[in-house]
A and B are shown apart, each in its own frame.
Chain A
Amino acid sequence: MTEHKPWLSLPDEDPPERGLAELLAAARVKAEVMASPPWWKRMFAVLRRPPVLALATVMILIGGVIVVGGHHDTASSPAPSLDVPAGPLDTRARSTAPEAPPPAPPPPPHEVRTEKQLDESPHVGGAALDDTKQAAPQVETEEATDSADDRGETLKAGAIQGKKAPLDPLARCRQAAARRDCAAAKACMKDLGKVDVANDATLKSCL
């Protein structure tokens, strides 16, 4: 083997000692630096570790899916998105009652019922008047309850409207007759023109 590779008989030379102390001093300084790396280097080293990188990747993917999914929902159905931030707007909308659908005018059957109530108590005198006074708000209250889906605001508005609403001319005539104010009742009936008072006991008593 040596015959074929004569260069292997070449002796190795020892390196000089020159510069060895310098090397060791530099190594010591570097070792001190490496032994206590700054916090950000340690932090960076931790962040660069494969498990942390994998976790970060997963988090980014999940976040991306959430963002993209939310954006997709918003694009497809805009109505719910308006609902969410409209808390104050909703309150304001409720406070502005006029914008809400106005309560329906008192339906005729109620009036008929009122008339019947008046008819049923023609001879009570003052009591009939009290009944009439009570009846009107009650009727209006019922109407408000029916028309405004139990809303308190609408109920109040309905009550106010009930007080201000002009009475039926015939009912006014009846009220006047019930008060024994026959003059007023007659004038009222005169304004109405032809009125069939045959079946109306209250008016008949005044005539």
Chain B
Amino acid sequence: MFNDTADEDLMVMYQKGEVRAFEVLLTRHRKPVYNFILRFVGDKETAEDLLQEAFMRVIKGAEAYKRQAKFTTWLYTIARNLCVDQTRRRKHRKHASLDAPMDAGEESGTLMDVIPGSEMASDRKSVNKQLHEQMQRAIAALSEDQREVFLMREFLDMPFKQIADVVGVPENTVKSRMRYALEKLRLELDEYKDLAKAAPG
């Protein structure tokens, strides 16, 4: 019924009391928002909590939503702010994370590399999985500013202008951060070539 309706129209319908409109919005955006948060914070449990919190904030703030604003801009601004708060809290607590680098240097290994994992150590069956993990680590190694821009641009296909609106910086700054993020990732993923060569078949 509402499958072809624009997000903004669905939000307006929800403001008028149409719950079904919100359900469509939830179905449409839950997965991409979850993956954005997951790649930002790198932790599934935290990502689930933040996803829940993000949509709760959408519900609470639904009355204040204006039709002129793009719904995805609003939604990802909420999600991004939650992620930034979360990473700041994490830094403050200085809890050891399995995915976090052990030393201050970005090129050091992580705890995940040291702990003998049954999956990774046992057979290394799936080179693809290893590659994915490598990429996830490379993304996590990006600075917060670069990571958010990179995730929105590459995984959500957002235009630079919209990213600038979400992040709250000029568009040129967004482009600059994106360029640095790509350079860094290419350096980090140099190993990818070796792994790809080592992969069976």
Instruction: Say how far A81's CB is from chain B's closest CB, in angstroms.
Output: 51
With A27-B23, A34-B17 known as contacts, the answer to whether A15 contacts B48 (CB < 8 A) is yes
Question: Do most interface residues of chain A lie in helix, strand or loop, or is the interface mixed?
Answer: helix
A90: Cβ under 8 A from any B Cβ: no
A91 → chain B closest CB, angstroms: 63
How many Å lie between the Cα of A43 and that of B34 in the bound state? 39
Chain B residues, CB < 8 A from A13: 34-35, 38, 44
Question: What is the distance, in angstroms, from A26's C-beta to the closest C-beta of chain B?
Answer: 5
Q: Which residue in chain B gives the minimum CB-CB distance to A32? A: B17
Known A7-B139, A13-B34; contact A23-B52, beta-carbon cutoff 8 A: yes
Looking across the interface, which residue of chain B has its beta carbon closest to that of A15? Answer: B34
Chain B neighbourhood of A86, CB < 8 A: none
Residue-by-residue, is A19-54 near B (CB-CB < 8 Å gives 1, otherwise 0)?
110111011101110111000000000000000000
- CB of A30 within 8 A of CB of B34, answer no
A26 to B155, CA, bound (A): 29
Task: Give per-residue flags for B49-62: 1 if the beta carbon is below 8 A from chain A beta carbons, else 0.
Answer: 00110011001101
Known: A19-B48, A23-B55, A27-B59. A8 touches B17 (CB 8 A): no
A18, A31, A35: which contacts B22 (Cβ < 8 A)? A31
Say which residue of B19, B35, B128 sits within 8 Å of A28 (CB atoms): B19
Say which one of B97-105, B119-127, B129-137 lies at the interface with A: B129-137
CB distance from B126 to the nearest CB of A (A): 12
Question: B82 within 8 Å of A by Cβ?
Answer: no
Given A7-B135, A10-B136, A24 and B14 contact (CB-CB distance below 8 Å): no
- The reply to whether the CB of A5 lies closer than 8 angstroms to some CB of chain B is yes
Write out the residue numbers on chain B whose beta carbons fall within 8 Å of the beta carbon of A26. 56, 59
User: How would you classify the secondary structure of chain B's contact residues: helix, strand, loop or mixed?
Assistant: helix
> Taking the complex as formed, is A85 at the interface, i.e. its CB lies under 8 A from any CB of chain B?
no
CA distance A16 to B31 in the complex (A): 9
Is A83 positioned at the interface, with any CB of B under 8 Å from its CB?
no
Give A16 to B19 CA distance when docked, in angstroms: 21
B73 lies within 8 A of chain A by Cβ: no
> Which of B32, B35, B38, B60 gathers the greatest number of chain A CB atoms within 10 Å?
B35
CB-CB under 8 A for A23 and B59, given A11-B132, A34-B16, A35-B17: yes
- Measured CB to CB, the closest approach of chain B to A176, in angstroms, equals 110
Could you tell me if A34 and B52 are in contact, using CB atoms closer than 8 angstroms? no
Contact with A along B25-47 (1 / 0, CB 8 A): 01000111011001000001000
Contact A31 B17 (CB under 8 A): yes
A141 to chain B, nearest CB (A): 86
Q: Contact: A27 with B22, CB < 8 Å? A: yes
Which chain A residue lies CB-closest to B138?
A: A7
Which residues from A are CB-within-8-Å of B23? 24, 27
Q: Is B15 an interface residue (CB 8 A)?
A: yes
Q: Does the CB pair B18–A6 fall under 8 Å?
A: no
Q: Please state if B189 and A12 are interface contacts (CB–CB under 8 Å).
A: no
B85: CB under 8 A from chain A?
no
Interface centre among A7, A14, A19, A28 (most CB of B within 10 A): A7
Residues of A at the B interface (CB closer than 8 Å) are 5-16, 18-20, 22-24, 26-28, 30-32, 34-36
List 8 A-B residue pairs with CB atoms under 8 Å apart, sorted by A's residue number. Answer: A6-B189, A7-B138, A7-B154, A27-B14, A27-B19, A28-B19, A30-B60, A30-B62
